[in-house]
Amino acid sequence: MQVLAVASEIFPLIKTGGLADVTGALPAALAPHGIIVRTLVPGYPKVLEALANRRTVAQIDDLFGAPAALLSGKAAGLELFVLDAPELFARPGGPYADPSGHDYGDNWRRFAALGWVGARLARGEFKGYRADLLHAHDWQAGLAPAYLAYGPAHAVKSVMTVHNLAFQGQFGAEIFGQLGFPADAFSVDGLEYYGGVGYLKAGLKLADAVTTVSPSYALEIRDGEFGMGLDGLLRTRTDTLHGILNGIDVEAWDPGTDPALVQTYRAGTVHLRAVNKAALRERFGLEDDDSPLFGVISRLTWQKGMDLLLPAIGELVGMGAQLVVLGSGDPGIEGGMHHAASAHRGRVGVQIGYDEALSHLIQGGADALLVPSRFEPCGLTQLYALRYGCVPVVARVGGLADTVIDANEAAMQAGVATGVQFHPVTQATLTDAIRRAIQLYRRPKAWKKLQRKGMKTDVSWAQSGLRYADLFRHLTGLEGRDDD
């Protein structure tokens, strides 16, 4: 089966969050099931630089007013189609915003172009390729299922995967006339969304199936609090809405071989993590004593609960713990983190920015990872933490609820606990969870049990790859279900 994935990020070429990890990992996860995934991505400079074996599939003279070429090639072991349109994608800032953080004014055009080309490529309108199914990721690819739905009947099946409902790609009604849809597509059954044009809404409405990245989030988004305006639409899709957990790349994230660690280790040698903890402390100028070290690797935003963590830092330090924070985001929260580091020298270390290698060292050296998200579609950092014996302390929402087992008495007795959960998500419950984690840390046997159980948890793509494969087979009717 040939699947065309359409996405604006793919690890390791272009990444702002978990979306990239997933699109980067799915092709390998689906290959064992006989599903060949090729991914269409925008021609960002970094993608074009990395592209080898490049071939021009098609020249498009006027792609929403810009000249473009559709290329195929390989990069980082991934089979790619790249939409090389310098006017749209060769820009100095990030994938969605300029260097000062303002969204590009023509994002509607950039990602309409991506969806339009995706639909045509999948349908076989460019020579040499045709897909059985199109897999659209997030709002940037949301128009691809819509272009398929308003194109020739029964062309190609489509799946819309939403990695985070908070990012919806909503634009003013005035762009509709430039998208090339029939007039009746501007309706509640098509692209229209609260009087404007909704890219994610269109995909959620018009794809043959919808998935999101955890079973709990699939339930939560049908509800007013987490549905962000789309809950009504999602309730109508209940029969075709699936929650499939993300896995992680267990080769790139392997504490037994990770080159970013000062000391590698396995479940049986988890005491060796102390070497990485010492390295982390040295790097952040933290005191060397018997205190537990908490880590944070996160976008510094409201969603991630980072504004709740800020006022809890004093209490964390007061309880005798230490904290290292790696992240970037909201300038107010970044400033607050800097302030906390200078107010608690030797106890709190902060690095603002994106640093892949340091994120590995924190997973391999901190004792516990704090993830106090207000909502979390799946979350990847707690999965890395499980694999690295860095005990996750998480809000009980979305994928965090589905992947961490709270260390309550019953779970401890049964030997199934892997971390600490708290709910509702407030500063008080977060502080309480930190206190519980510290108490557990002071019981070395119980702590080691938590670490080892976490390290043995299956966080690979094996199960989830099978679930995507089943869904794709069911939709295309190409093969029977896999019963293994």
Q: Which residues bind ligand ADP (CB under 6 A)?
A: 17-18, 21, 164, 297-299, 326-328, 354-356, 359, 378-381
Nearest residue (CB) to ligand ADP, 306 versus 326: 326
Count the Cβ atoms, other than its own, within 10 Å of residue 394.
Answer: 31
Q: Which two tokens stand for residue 40?
A: 């269409």
End-to-end CA distance of the chain: 19
Nearest residue (CB) to ligand ADP, 247 versus 327: 327
Q: Tell me how far, at minimum, the Cβ of 464 lies from ligand ADP, in Å.
A: 14
Phi, psi of 227 (to 5 degrees): -75, -15
Q: Tell me how far, at minimum, the Cβ of 341 lies from ligand ADP, in Å.
A: 15
Nearest residue (CB) to ligand ADP, 292 versus 379: 379
Q: Would you call 346 exposed, middle or buried from its count of C-beta atoms within 10 A (0-12, 13-18, 19+)?
A: middle
Which residue type does 95 have? P
Which residue type does 45 have? P
Nearest residue (CB) to ligand ADP, 190 versus 365: 365
Nearest residue (CB) to ligand ADP, 210 versus 394: 394
Q: Tell me how far, at minimum, the Cβ of 413 lies from ligand ADP, in Å.
A: 30
Phi, psi of 291 (to 5 degrees): -80, 150
Q: Tell me how far, at minimum, the Cβ of 167 lies from ligand ADP, in Å.
A: 10
What beta strand segments (E) does 17-114 contain? 36-42, 52-63, 66-75, 78-84
Q: Which residue is nearest to ligand ADP (CB)?
A: 18
| CA separation, residue 126 to residues 42, 67, 70, 88, 181 (Å) | 17, 16, 9, 21, 20
Nearest residue (CB) to ligand ADP, 149 versus 160: 160
Q: Tell me how far, at minimum, the Cβ of 270 lies from ligand ADP, in Å.
A: 21
Q: Give the C-alpha separation, 142 to 125, whole Å.
A: 20
Q: Tell me how far, at minimum, the Cβ of 371 lies from ligand ADP, in Å.
A: 8
Cα three-residue angle 23-26-31, rounded to 5 degrees? 145
Residue with structure tokens 């762009």? Answer: 175
Q: Tell me how far, at minimum, the Cβ of 400 lies from ligand ADP, in Å.
A: 9
Report which DSSP code applies to 377.
S
Nearest residue (CB) to ligand ADP, 117 versus 350: 350
- Asked if 249 and 224 touch (Cβ cutoff 8 Å), the reply is no
